[in-house]
Structure 1
Amino acid sequence: MVEQQSEDLNLDAIFKALGHPTRREILEQLADGPESVSELAEPHDVSLAAVSKHLRVLEDADLLDVEEDGRVRRCHLDAAPLSDVFGWLTRYRVLWEDRFDALADHLENDDR
């Protein structure tokens, strides 16, 4: 039960992190490799402080690691937690596919 609650909290944090387009764009940037906070902020029309807040949400969801080197903070993508999301989505995809298959069977039998 405790493990399930922990997994649910992690999923909540990940979905919260993925729920904002700027954070999704930042994750896409990091998929190409590590970048500094200022490099991540450059293509976005928001302040450096706003980008830092987005990074904190991503960090809280364990989707990125921040490495400090003097005054420079380098961010690295950690995509491993996305496997939890994939597993969750897969369970529901299978459920809905089964339901749609049952509906199709029902409609086919109804037409006969």
Structure 2
Amino acid sequence: MSDMATAVWSALADPSRRAILDRLLHGPRPVGDLARECGLSQPGASKHLRVLREAGLVDVQRDAQRRLYAIRPAPMAELDAWLAPYRRLWNARLDALGDRLDAQATDDRKGDPS
């Protein structure tokens, strides 16, 4: 795994940073809004945004006197691509469980005297 991928995973490990990214799904936001919505102080939100920016997960743009933060989709797409084989494995296991439960339900109905 590359250093950038490690930085992305480390950034995503923190629940406050994930909450910030959740808010940014709706579009660019200033740090003050993000801090308020996530229950963080503005300096705390700024520190989390710096980590997200350094990991390549967000961009910042100046808009007059404020800075707007926005999600960078490329690192998310890379994470999704990395997770794809694991998702296929998990889905295959869930499908097998579903088949097993369906078979059990069919057997139970066959044995039901009503």
The TM-score, its normalising length taken from structure 1, stands at 0.72
**Separation (CA, whole Å) in 1 of partners of 2:82 and 2:43:** 33
**Aligned-residue CA RMSD (Å):** 2.4
Deviations 1:52-80 (A, max 9, x none): 01001110111111012343111111121
Amino acid at match of 2:50: R
**Separation (CA, whole Å) in 1 of partners of 2:69 and 2:89:** 37
- Residue from 22, 41, 44 that aligns with 1:47: 41
The gaps in structure 1 that reach 5 residues or longer are 101-112
**Separation (CA, whole Å) in 2 of partners of 1:47 and 1:39:** 11
Q: Secondary structure at the match of 2:74?
A: coil
Larger radius of gyration between Structure 1 and Structure 2: 2
**Separation (CA, whole Å) in 2 of partners of 1:74 and 1:50:** 16
Q: Secondary structure at the match of 1:82?
A: helix
Establish whether residue 60 from structure 1 lines up as the match of residue 57 from structure 2: no
| TM-fit CA distance, 1:88 | 1.7
Q: Which residue of 1 aligns with 2:101?
A: none
Q: Secondary structure at the match of 1:50?
A: helix
* Aligned length, in residue pairs: 96
1:25–1:97 Cα change, 3 Å: closer
Q: Secondary structure at the match of 1:76?
A: strand
The gaps in structure 2 that reach 5 residues or longer are 94-114
- Residue from 13, 16, 34 that aligns with 1:19: 13
Percentage of matched positions with identical amino acids: 39
| TM-fit CA distance, 1:46 | 2.2
Establish whether residue 10 from structure 1 lines up as the match of residue 4 from structure 2: yes
